[in-house]
Structure 1
């Protein structure tokens, strides 16, 4: 049976924190949507964080138009999901290094060698997208509408 569960910001972050499969929606120059499957987490400030590269379309789009949406899915296709709309900040260079450490921790926990990780992020020239949620849908599951569940 399909469900919709309204949650406050804390409920949203609790839901997103354990799910790392996301689809980031940015806007192309012509206004059409650009969808990018990504991995993400939630930082200590309650922002959705995504590691990327400065030359990727999602990064260019987020720099031009900071209004983005993120579809957060569960591991199973027919399990719960939520859409989050928010404002995206792009971090590059040294400014991104410590937030990238937080990103890694939010998804994978502790790294065996943080200095090695930091250097790898510098060598790869990684960027970080930080999305501050401003509104979100109910947490939903697919399936039959409740009116058909009793049939």
Structure 2
């Protein structure tokens, strides 16, 4: 059986955003108070401005961490574990109710499409006191897949 060759495709921002928009699962990595990483599995979307958006609650560790230090990374994963992935580093902001409601509408559209009742959705976001994390990409690694180095793939 032939061995799969690892890939690492360097891309510009438009191709990165296309890759991210085709997925919605990832790990958001923030920094704990002691500097150690905090990884949170998330569902994410990409808004019209090209920012990665994550719906969350103000009590979550990722939010507490981002209020203290706004640098964050997202590892965007494929649904297939062996599929392509990318790490995106950037600056994050946390938006709380009431300012989070309209950005949460954009988040929902990016992840799931149209909601059958936007008024009901907006009210639920207020009642649940939802927050939104927006990560502006500043740098990113190649879109990569695992496998063997070419010299070992015969």
Matched, 1:51 2:55: yes
| 2:142 aligned partner | 138
| 1:26 aligned partner | 30
Deviations 1:68-107 (A, max 9, x none): 0100000000000000000001000110000000000001
Q: Equivalences for 1:111-130 in 2 at 5 Å?
A: 111-130=115-134
Distance 1:66 1:9 in 2: 21
Runs of 5+ consecutive residues of structure 2 not aligned to the other structure: none
Distance 2:49 2:38 in 1: 26
Distance 1:18 1:74 in 2: 9
Distance 1:137 1:42 in 2: 18
| 1:76 aligned partner | 80
Count residues with an aligned counterpart. 150
TM-score (norm 1): 0.98
Runs of 5+ consecutive residues of structure 1 not aligned to the other structure: none
TM-score (norm 2): 0.96
Question: How much has 1:145 moved relative to structure 2?
Answer: 1.2
| Secondary structure in 2 matching 1:37 | strand
Residue 60 of structure 1: which of 58, 61, 64 is its match? 64
Matched, 1:3 2:43: no
Matched, 1:13 2:17: yes
| Secondary structure in 2 matching 1:46 | coil
